[in-house]
Amino acid sequence: MSQVSGTVVLDPGHGGTADIGGSDANHAKSPSGVLEKNLTLEMAALTEQALMANAPGVRVIKTRSTDVNLSLADRAGVARDNLADLFLSIHFNGFNGTARGVEAFIRPAANNVNLAEDRSFATRVQAAVFNAIRARDPGTKDRGVKEEKLGVIADASLGNTAASHKTRACLLEIEFMDVPAVDSLLNTSPNATAVRRQIAEAIAAAIIAELESLPMGATA
């Protein structure tokens, strides 16, 4: 059990029934009918449980715990208002029913005062989730860490400035949930519950490792 402390904000992507402030109510849907907004909410809850069990000194805050939608700025604002060390927005991809893989996103250098720190965090999380899924399904792919100007991890909304940039942030796309094999892995197979929990435990382990890597006093 880790003795690390700090504040982590988990952001389950999407939610509700209406698009709000750049946040779609839902994006991806599995072949069996599972909605991304519901699966992100469950994964955030499972990750919170894993963090509480393995690092009880860590303060965990979720941007939502029910089926509601928040604007991208409001989601990031939860991290700003709580002086979060880490902000993780959790999503699932959906494209053409065949594309596979795990990827994470950070803001590009031109729009990011925290580029190296964000990359460190995103790399840990993406690798942990990729390895957890690959252990169950070798068909997954390592899509790495990419840069994109995403509103939910914008410095201004997170409260980061060039002079003070406390919050490391990234957006995680766990897999392409519109692929039948992924739907089976995460939703319909007899082991789906265990797989979801293992992925959440991998995310939690990456978060703990990132907090442990912070300079002494950075989480105070």
According to the model, what pLDDT value does residue 217 have?
46
According to the model, what pLDDT value does residue 220 have?
42
For the cut 70, the answer to whether the pLDDT of residue 183 exceeds it is yes
**Residue extents of the structural domains in the chain:** 6-213
Confidence tier at 216 by pLDDT (50, 70, 90): low
pLDDT digits (tens, 9 = 90+) for 104-152: 999 999 999 999 999 999 999 999 999 999 999 999 999 999 999 999 9
Written as one letter, the residue type at 192 is A
At what angle are helices 115-134 and 192-213 packed, to 10 degrees? Answer: 150
Residues 6 or more apart whose CB falls under 8 angstroms from that of 22 comprise 71, 72, 73, 151, 152
Q: What are phi and psi of 142, to 5 degrees?
A: -90, 105
Q: Which CATH architecture group holds 6-213? A: 3-Layer(aba) Sandwich (3.40)
Q: What's the whole-number mean pLDDT along residues 161-166?
A: 94
Mean pLDDT of the chain: 96
Residue 97 buriedness (CB in 10 A; 0-12 / 13-18 / 19+): exposed
User: Of 71, 140, 72, 68, nearest to 103 (Cα)?
Assistant: 140
